[in-house]
Amino acid sequence: MRKPILGLVGAAALALVLTGCGGAGVAADAAAGGSEKTAATAIYDEINALEGQERHDRLVELAEEEGRLNLYTSNTDMDSIVEAFEAEYDIDVQPTRGNSETVLQKLVAEGRSGQTSVDLVETNSGELNILHQQGFFYEYESEYRDAVREEGQMDGWTADRFNAFVVGWNTDSVDPAELPAEIKDFADPKWKGLITLEIGDVDWYAAVTQYYLDQGMSQEEVDAMWEGIAANASVEKGHSAMGDLLAAGKLKITLSIYQHTIDGAAAEDGAPVAWQDGDKHVTPVVIRPNGAGLMAGAQHPAAAMLFMDFLLTKGQEAIVSDYRVGSVESAEDSLAGIETISVPEDEMLDNLEYWDEKYRALVGG
């Protein structure tokens, strides 16, 4: 049996923090390295109190004096942003990469030991929420955060990009005119053998479930809908893998593939894939913020704040150029004019085991 999608990692991480560090406040103190926390938060407070050019000039001065940034990230497209940042500022960025669960586990382990060098964490919302809950982050204030979509102005951290879960299809195999208007319609037996679910998309599952409950369906009706969908579906692991299989025609329709996977494959490789046909798409489209948080015990707090500013300004250009959805709306916004729903972040944080178990039972994990 596979491990729970995020539940085992999240629950284990929280247990490690609580038993190894004595709770949220101690987790922050451990991660901060004692007196280093005071030095870091003093700089954060100084910059948070400034505005405009004065803020920027002072931040650049302090950041270039530090000369280094230690970054933990799960973003596979971060290289172009790092290169652009280093070209503009005299600061050496040292990125440590891993998937979101690895980033979380590494930070928790370092928090327990009281030894961590990370200044800024950029990863998925679920892991960021856990880290914020345990006191690892410090408040970030700026006009750039104010410009972020409301769904990305999270407690303790700020979105720099969004993953959009969309229904994608192979255009050689599927006539978009025959696609249903909504995800719930894929419970119809006529879609048997044509649709695919992703084994780890518990947050998407929770969002769609909540959407239909809010639309007036009963819990029994929603559960029956999912049972019908699951009966019609195959299950795959990984959005990139699903994208490759969809482009090759081995999959016909994927219910929760990333929008940037589809758009990138179509634009870069000419792959026969799509998630829109003119202004038509299958609803709902679910968005999940990914973002960054300032470590309360950063060794290079000014560099962390400056990089955060960069992520929300010039870094947005690189994010959009990779066919992703930036956290700041722009003319190149792939979701312009499209109604979206958000992953229920608080619900996922509070009841992760419940959602994980329900989705595992559905997909047979």
Per-residue model confidence (pLDDT) at position 296: 93
Residue 205, both tokens: 């599952």
* 76 and 95 in a common domain: yes
* 191 and 220 in a common domain: yes
Q: What value does the CA radius of gyration of the chain take, rounded to a whole number of Å?
A: 21
pLDDT of 284 > 70? The answer is yes
Query: Which residues span the domain enclosing 236?
Result: 163-287
Residue 116: inside a domain: yes
Per-residue model confidence (pLDDT) at position 20: 44
Cα distance between residue 29 and residue 22, in whole Å: 10
* 297 and 150 in a common domain: yes
* 179 and 91 in a common domain: no
Cα torsion at 102, 103, 104, 109 (round to 10°)? 90
- Rounded to two decimals, the pTM is 0.82
Residue 213: inside a domain: yes
User: Each residue of 191-210: pLDDT tens digit?
Assistant: 999 999 999 999 999 999 99
User: What burial class does residue 168 get, using C-beta atoms within 10 Å of its C-beta: 0-12 exposed, 13-18 middle, 19+ buried?
Assistant: buried
* 173 and 138 in a common domain: no
* 256 and 308 in a common domain: no
User: Each residue of 152-179: pLDDT tens digit?
Assistant: 999 999 999 999 999 999 999 999 999 9
- Altogether, the residues listed in the chain come to a count of 365
* 310 and 270 in a common domain: no
- Alpha-carbon dihedral sign for residues 311, 316, 318, 324: positive
CA-closest candidate to residue 194, choices 210, 180, 181, 213? 180
Banded model confidence at residue 322, pLDDT cuts 50, 70, 90: confident
Q: Which of 59-63, 72-76, 277-281, 293-297 has the lowest mean pLDDT?
A: 72-76
* 177 and 239 in a common domain: yes
Banded model confidence at residue 102, pLDDT cuts 50, 70, 90: confident
pLDDT of 52 > 70? The answer is yes
| Average confidence score pLDDT of the chain | 89
Contact call for residues 121 and 128 (beta carbons, < 8 A)? yes
